[in-house]
Amino acid sequence: MTGPGCADDPALRRRLARLRELPVNFDVDRVDPLDPGPGWRVDDFRQPLGAEPPGPPLVGGPWERACALVRDYKFADPMVVTRACRSGESLADSDLLLEANFHGLPFDLPCRVGGVVDTTSDGVRIWGWNYRTLRGHLEQGQMDFGVRKDLATGDVEFRVHAFSRRAPIPNPVVRLGFVLFGRGAQLRFIRSACRRMRDLTRPAALPAARGRRP
């Protein structure tokens, strides 16, 4: 997961290293992601990405292509998330610095990868990961990104599941702006991510099957 200058910017590497000192800004152990309780907002979006033949994902097919996009955070609208940099090569337990633009104002949004899913369950092949917000983020919560293939039908979809609430924001101007525009910006981000995944995986769905993944 890289963006312009992620690997070559010493100042950015220092910023990423400092994220390790930041705690997650909510109590993970007290929140059920599927039912977080009062005060939390839950979102669940699903975007069809076409279909492959039934059975295991195709090598180079839409499921595999979608997984690569999700792994590298390429679904994010670059007009909103101007840069996304990860602290390590491996996703697991990495820190993530998102540089975002909301209504012309830049913000750093620190996150930490909370888990990676790579499994087949009830006839569905699933790969994905989630991040959790760190202290200094405008929000508190977790966002999960997943790619799913129904092995019986061949249908492939992208899924975003999130629970969130506004974090304490000391700056009164930023706090007011987030109250007024934060929810709209959040929904635009998720909806644009679904559209980009649909558009970016479409070319991979055109060629005939090139072989199945062992």
Contact at 8 Å (CB) between 24 and 133?
yes
- Residue bearing tokens 């390590």: 88
pLDDT in tens, 136-171: 999 999 999 999 999 999 999 999 999 999 988 877
**To the nearest 5 percent, what fractions of the chain are helix, strand and coil?**
25, 35, 35
Q: DSSP string spanning 7-27?
A: TT-HHHHHHHHHHTTPPBSS-
Predicted pLDDT at 120 = 97
Q: What CATH number is attached to the domain comprising 184? A: 3.30.530.20
Dist. CA 141–CA 39, nearest whole Å: 11
pLDDT for position 5:
52
Report the number of distinct structural domains present in the chain.
1
Residue 3 pLDDT exceeds 60: no
Here the contacts of 29-37 (C-beta below 8 Å, separation 24 or greater) are: 31/142, 31/163, 33/142, 33/144, 33/161, 33/163, 36/141, 36/163
- What's the CA gap between 153 and 164, in Å, rounded? 33
On whether residue 138 sits in a domain, the answer given is: yes
Closest CA to 140 of 148, 152, 131, 149: 131
The answer to the question of residue 198 being in a domain is: yes
- Give the Å distances, CA to CA, from 52 to 56, 59, 120, 198: 9, 11, 16, 14
Predicted TM-score (pTM) above 0.75: yes
Whether 2 maps to a domain, the answer reads: no
- CB neighbour class for 12 (10 Å; exposed up to 12, middle 13-18, buried from 19): middle
Q: In the block, which residue shows the tokens 């990495």?
A: 94
Specify if 152 maps to a domain: yes
In a domain, 4, yes or no: no
Contact 82, 99 (CB under 8 A): yes
- Residue 113 three-state SS: strand
Which among 97, 74, 99, 103 has a CA at the least distance from the CA of 195?
Answer: 74
Q: Which residue has the tokens 């390790």?
A: 20
Asked if residue 1 belongs to a domain, the reply is: no
What pLDDT was estimated at residue 211?
46
Give the domain range for residue 157. Answer: 10-205
- Averaged confidence pLDDT in the chain: 87
Query: 133 Cβ partners below 8 Å, 6+ apart?
Result: 24, 25, 26, 109, 110, 111, 139, 140, 141, 142, 164, 167
In a domain, 213, yes or no: no
Whether 210 is covered by a domain: the verdict is: no
Give residue-wise pLDDT tens across range 44-89.
Answer: 999 999 999 999 999 989 999 999 999 999 999 888 898 899 988 8
Confidence class of residue 210 from pLDDT cuts 50, 70 and 90? very low
